Amino acid sequence: MKLAACLSILNTLLAISQAAPINEKRSDVTDASLGLNAAGWFTKYGYPGPIPQDNLLVRDAYVTAPNYYTRNPYWSVEHINADAIKVSGDISRDKSTFREDTDVPEYFRSKLADYKRSGYDRGHQAPAGDVQFAQDALDQTFYLSNMCPQVGVGFNRNYWAWTEEFGRNMTGSYDSVRILTGPLYLPTQGDDGNYYIDYKVIGNPPNVHVPTHFFKVIIGEDSQGDSVDGAAFVLPNEYISESTPLTNWQTSFQNLTSMSGLEILTNVTEGVTVNNLCDKVECRIITYSHTRYNP
Ligand SMILES: *[C@@H]1O[C@H](CO)[C@@H](O)[C@H](O)[C@H]1NC(C)=O
Ligand SMILES: *[C@@H]1O[C@H](CO)[C@@H](O)[C@H](O)[C@H]1NC(C)=O
Ligand SMILES: *[C@@H]1O[C@H](CO)[C@@H](O)[C@H](O)[C@H]1NC(C)=O
């Protein structure tokens, strides 16, 4: 193909991608009765990227950005408040089942079989426990497109679950809480002194990458709205002792940006400052028995 033709196709593709109705897609992530809008993160805090925006999966309670290479999301973003997480009798994760996500092209989709006997839990990024306002919305958190392989005992079923509980707890301190969660693949130093990114890949053929770490950004918003409180945490995908303070895992937004390749909070609305959440509230895991939420 001639260069000019290539360029013209490229320009067309660029134009299409720029014109993609992202805002329309985003604006339907709303539970009007609860005043929730997961995609509101993008306008308030900037799109966590640069990564493609044309394959976002927009669910009732969260938005996720699939990564076709790792078969994990880049992140899932949610917006919760006290009403959204209020446990109601009829709505239960016991009625939900883990499902492959047919909205992800088959080649790039993580499969139930990939996780089977892998030794890893299917770890929610947007947590099931954050969605109690409708069974459908809760069920949607069980798409594998919202999962990453997580160490079960001591992490997904314990420390990580208790970190999620802390996120929910913030709905007691803030009218509105926004949470961004995703995997990281971080380097470690080898015996020769060099740094390597070394992690397992599960499935047959191997295709679902096992993150070394996970991040969680929690933003607490008051209705007054001229300041918000936020914190970023990076936790290793491994057993973590219950006695480890959550603040051990706190990092700066800049560091998270550098680790993740995602710009975080680039476009906080002018005149709004982001204070350290952990200066305002006690940042700590909130433990409960993992039998309450079997993974
Ligand atoms: C947050 O945690 C505190 C202490 O455990 C508890 O008293 C409070 O009810 C929790 N609030 C919410 C909204 O979960
Ligand atoms: C950010 O990363 C640098 C370099 O790794 C480290 O020295 C610093 O302590 C980190 N800051 C926070 C707040 O974690
Ligand atoms: C955030 O960034 C988008 C473009 O990425 C821009 O359209 C929007 O106006 C920005 N919002 C604020 C509040 O700066």
23 in a structural domain: no
pLDDT in tens, 38-70: 999 998 999 999 999 999 999 999 999 999 999
Instruction: Please state, in angstroms and rounded to a whole number, the distance separating the CA atoms of residues 14 and 155.
Output: 41
pLDDT band at residue 18 using 50, 70 and 90 as cut-offs: very low
**What is the average pLDDT score of the chain?**
88
Is residue 223, in this structure, part of any structural domain at all? Answer: yes
The residue whose C-alpha atom lies closest to atom 14 belonging to ligand 2 is 251
Q: Which ligand is nearest to the CA of 172?
A: 1
pLDDT at residue 266, as a whole number? 85
How far, rounded to the nearest angstrom, does the alpha carbon of residue 94 sit from its chain's CA centroid? 22
Please tell me the predicted confidence (pLDDT) of residue 271. 76
DSSP codes, 57-81: EE-SSEEEEEETTTTEEEEEEEEE-
In a domain, 10, yes or no: no
Task: For residue 91, name the pLDDT band (cuts at 50, 70, 90).
Answer: very high
pLDDT cut 70: percent of the chain above it: 86
Ligand 1 neighbourhood includes 286 CB (under 6 angstroms):
yes
Predicted pLDDT at 19: 33
Asked if residue 267 has its Cβ within 6 Å of ligand 3, the reply is yes
Question: What pLDDT score was predicted for residue 267?
Answer: 77
Pairing mode, strands 121-124 and 147-150: antiparallel
Ligand 2 mean position to 178 CA, how many Å?
24
The 10s digit of each residue's pLDDT in 179-196 is 999 999 999 999 999 999
- Measured from the CB, is residue 203 less than 6 Å from ligand 3? no
Inside any domain, residue 191:
yes
* CATH at residue 233: 3.40.570.10
Residue 81 beta carbon below 6 angstroms from any ligand 1 atom: no
Domain total in the chain: 1
Residue 5's pLDDT is 46
Output 109-113 pairs: Cβ under 8 A, ≥24 positions apart. 109/71, 109/144, 109/145, 110/71, 110/72, 110/144, 110/145, 110/147, 110/203, 110/207, 110/208, 111/144, 111/203, 112/144, 113/203, 113/204
Expressed in angstroms and rounded, the spacing between residue 210 Cα and the centre of ligand 2 is 24
Ligand 2 pocket by Cβ (under 6 Å): 251-252, 255
For residue 269, which atom of ligand 3 is closest to its CA? 13
Q: What is the structure's pLDDT at 6?
A: 43
Quickly state the pLDDT bin for 31 (edges 50, 70, 90).
low
Residue 16 exposure: Cα atoms within 13 Å on the Cβ side: 8
Q: Which of 215, 251, 264, 276 to mutate to test the pocket of ligand 2 (most atoms within 8 A of CB)?
A: 251
156 in a known ligand binding site = yes
Catalytic residue positions?
Answer: 124
Q: How far is CA 76 from the centre of its chain?
A: 3
Pairing of strands 227-236, 273-276: parallel
CA of 257 to the centre of ligand 3 (A): 18
The domain in which residue 189 lies consists of 28-280
Residue found under tokens 């006290």: 82
Cα–Cα distance measured from residue 114 to residue 109, given in angstroms and rounded to the nearest whole number: 10
pLDDT band at 33 (very low <50, low <70, confident <90, very high): confident
Q: Is 46 in the pocket of ligand 3 (CB under 6 A)?
A: yes
235 in Cβ contact with 280 (< 8 Å): no
pTM, entire model? 0.87
Q: Is residue 9 part of a domain?
A: no
pLDDT, tens digit, for every residue of 148-176? 999 999 999 999 999 999 999 999 999 99
Q: Is 172 in the pocket of ligand 1 (CB under 6 A)?
A: yes
The answer to whether residue 290 sits within a structural domain is no
